[in-house]
Amino acid sequence: MMRIGFLGAGIWLGSLAWLAAGDWPAYRADAARSGYSDEAIPNQLALRWVYRSALAPRPAWPNSDRIDFDQVFQPIIVGDLVLFGSSVDDQVVAIEAATGKVRWRVVTNGPIRFAPVAWEDRVFVAGDDGWLRALALQDGAELWKVRGGPDDRMVLGNERMISKWPARGGPVVVDGIVYFAAGIWPSDGVYLHAIEAKTGAAVWSNGDTGRLFMAQPHGGAEAESGVSAQGYLVAAGDQLIVPTGRAVPAFFDRKSGALQFYQLQQNQQRGGTRAMAADRFLFNAGCLFERETGNLSSQVGLGPSVAVGNGVVQADGRSLKASKWEDAQIIDRKGQSQSVRRLVEDRLVTMEREILDFIVAKGDAICGEDGRVCAVDYAGQRTVWWSHEVEGKALGLAAGNGRVVVSTDQGCVYGFDGVRGAPAVEIAGASKPGVPEVSEVARQAAEEILAKSSITEGYCVDLGAGDGDLAIALAARSKLQIYAVEADAGRVKSLRDRLIECGWYGDRIVVLQADPAKVPFPKQFANLVVSSAAMTGKVSDSIDTEAERLQRPWGGIRCFGKAGAMAAVKKEGLPGAGSWTHQNSNAANTLCSDDSVVKGPLSMFWFRDVDFEIPNRHGQGPAPLVDEGCMVVGGVDGIACLDAFNARTLWIHEEKGNLRDYDGIHHDVGVGETGSNFCLGGGSVFLRNAGRCVQLDLHTGEVVREYRVPMPTGSKEPGPAAN
């Protein structure tokens, strides 16, 4: 369909001086994250190619609506290339925009959750492995890299092995300086960096904002806390703005790195990862904040927004609203005249479907919907003049150099341009899907390991993985998530390529180049430790020692040896480790643990999002309980058990009505008065609900038996659970 577009007198479109003509070199186009380009898209658009990832994106926080920076592989357009990073197979991919051919791909050591950002002849990529890399646009060659945290230690974060300081402050480039942030837990340190784009040399680093004694969201409360960098950094004027996950962004001086303000208490529940600078304001989570002070100016709605010259376009459900900036005099609540700058609605476009995200190219809004992308001449005739069906929710959008690129939450990236007639090209992220062939020795060894260990799920480490045949054979016969450690760079690349071809990389097997005798992984997390190197001869004592360090207590197995002569060694409990089996520690309510292992200072061991609903913390629900390496967590309509050493969900037991009374923001006294409704003991979980007590096996969640108990007169429920 042809469309005739024009710019009405009421639309205000400006150019961004630093943006290279035609390119879309960053997430939402520029350092302000405006979502706007002054280049018009073609009058006709046709599908040129589709890239289909072997697996859909894996967001870090899938159940947290306000921390949504990585729902799709966010694309950029630079010259004749389309580039994006992957949160599932850890790659940066460069696709030739005209043909759909993959020009190059680079595998990093962790998920890539943010779009690359381009500058001159290079592109910058920040990842969960904690590094910022400068890669050559032409071929992906590494030009330099900078580590965001103080060392190479890793943790299990969001169900992947990542840096203790993941780079979750998405990079931004201004005036030849690239900025990024690493670290999300203030107690472990948060690091904000300014790096010379050409050389990789440090301009400044701020490592002090992770430990600030500051006002907390609840009025009158002060504590040591800090900035938790999660989201795309924003640069505006001399300011660098750092989104902080669910909280409001923090403002820094871009020249020195000094913190200007972080008004957590004043803004309480406000905040989110998405931020955009426009005029003298910062848009964040439906609010306008004055950039000069950080103060809340007004609330403007939660829908996505695009800054267009002297105004803003906002999406609200099934409508697009264009507004102008206006200076006005108002009378405040005290009867005083006050000067304000505000948005005044100028035009409204009604849409057929809900707009999930959008960008603006000249006078057209390119709107992402569930199952469709469309173009709207919102500045002129206010009509949808083009649309195309897509797989999934269209949440990643870019427009530049005569092209439109769309990315969905199903791992599909679509390239459109104005050239009609040529058939669309299908690009498979996995070029040879299926189970790779392995040697007979590796197959026999894998079967022997699984039989002798009886471990078919959880985390597995292969120390000295070699060609990867053993890791592949284990993955093919189990549900293990395997980390293959190999010192030889050539073998690492070969194995990664092999796994990417079949679509297993990142999901089933991850390959790390490291000394197998000294791996940066945390201690005691692995359910199974093996060694391909041990299949051809005795490994060094240092590898044996490292295997024992990684082995999980209470049942972790290390299994070394040649095929047919494997020796499995089980690790029992952890000497000196205590348990917390009741709300107040034990049946005697001592509120004191007998653990002698844990010593301060404490540091993050693992973290992840929840995979079932837990009560709102304001309802004062029961505490998690720990015994025999298991952590039991009470949930709404159920109860779950996690591996205390690696956060893997072991089982979920559904129990209708469980803890619903604690799920609210009523600030009741909660379990302080009622006591908990579950406890642990003798390898079992005892759960009181609906007038009975259910006994569950601690390690499997299977129902052992059910107890019906007499209830006190006038009571609907028995008392607190104890054994």
| Domain termination residue (choose one: 370, 399, 428) | 428
Domain region containing 631: 606-708
For residues 553 and 634, state if they share a domain: no
CATH of the domain at 306: 2.130.10.10
Residues of the chain with pLDDT under 70: 1-21, 265, 268, 666-667, 711-712, 714-723
Helix (H) and strand (E) counts for the chain? Answer: 6, 52
Question: How many domains does the chain contain in total?
Answer: 3
For residues 451 and 410, state if they share a domain: no
Kindly report whether the global pTM for this prediction surpasses the value 0.85: yes
Q: Is residue 713 part of a domain?
A: no
User: 23: Cβ–Cβ under 8 A, 6 or more apart, which residues?
Assistant: 77, 78, 79, 118, 400, 401
For residues 417 and 455, state if they share a domain: no
- Residue 493, helix vs strand vs coil: helix
For residues 244 and 393, state if they share a domain: yes
The alpha carbon of residue 135 and the mean position of all alpha carbons in its chain are separated, in whole angstroms, by 22
pLDDT score of 17: 34
For residues 417 and 446, state if they share a domain: no
The encoded tokens of residue 162 equal 């990542």
Cα 484 from Cα 438, distance rounded (Å): 15
Q: Is residue 386 part of a domain?
A: yes
Q: Is residue 586 part of a domain?
A: no
Q: How far apart are the first and last CA of the chain?
A: 73
User: 122: Cβ–Cβ under 8 A, 6 or more apart, which residues?
Assistant: 134, 135, 136, 137, 143, 197
For residues 540 and 400, state if they share a domain: no
Q: Is residue 7 part of a domain?
A: no
CATH of the domain at 487: 3.40.50.150
Apex 45 CA angle, 43 and 50, nearest 5: 160
For residues 52 and 201, state if they share a domain: yes
Q: Is residue 723 part of a domain?
A: no
Q: What is the DSSP string of 372-398?
A: EEEEE-TTTT--EEEEEEEEEEEEEEE
Cα 367 from Cα 315, distance rounded (Å): 9
pLDDT score of 264: 78
pLDDT score of 716: 61
For residues 338 and 215, state if they share a domain: yes
Strands 102-107 and 457-463: unpaired
Q: What is the largest CA-CA distance in the chain?
A: 88
Cα 181 from Cα 224, distance rounded (Å): 20
Q: Which helix (H) or strand (E) holds 475?
A: helix 469-476
- DSSP annotation of 643 reads E
- Residue 370, helix vs strand vs coil: strand
For residues 449 and 374, state if they share a domain: no
Cα 394 from Cα 400, distance rounded (Å): 17
For residues 228 and 251, state if they share a domain: yes
Four-residue CA torsion sign, 31, 36, 40, 44 = positive
Is 601 within 8 Å of 574 (Cβ atoms)?
no
Cα 365 from Cα 384, distance rounded (Å): 9
For residues 58 and 203, state if they share a domain: yes
Instruction: Single out the residue of 458, 451, 508, 454 nearest to residue 484, CA to CA.
Output: 508
pLDDT score of 719: 57
The encoded tokens of residue 420 equal 């009609």
Q: Is residue 19 part of a domain?
A: no
| Domain termination residue (choose one: 544, 570, 596) | 570
| pLDDT per position as a tens digit, 379-430 | 787 889 999 999 999 999 999 999 999 999 999 999 999 988 788 999 999 9
Q: Which helix (H) or strand (E) holds 449?
A: helix 440-453
Q: Is residue 423 part of a domain?
A: yes
Q: Is residue 584 part of a domain?
A: no
| Domain termination residue (choose one: 518, 548, 570) | 570
Q: What is the dihedral of CA 321, 327, 328, 334, to 10 degrees?
A: 100
The encoded tokens of residue 6 equal 């024009």
CATH of the domain at 656: 2.40.10.480
- Residue 549, helix vs strand vs coil: helix
- DSSP annotation of 585 reads B
Cα 551 from Cα 548, distance rounded (Å): 5
Cα 547 from Cα 539, distance rounded (Å): 11
For residues 181 and 318, state if they share a domain: yes
User: 325: Cβ–Cβ under 8 A, 6 or more apart, which residues?
Assistant: 279, 310, 311, 312, 341, 342, 343, 344
Q: Reduced to 3 DSSP states, what percent helix, strand and coil does the chain have, rounded to the nearest 5?
A: 10, 40, 50
Cα 260 from Cα 258, distance rounded (Å): 6
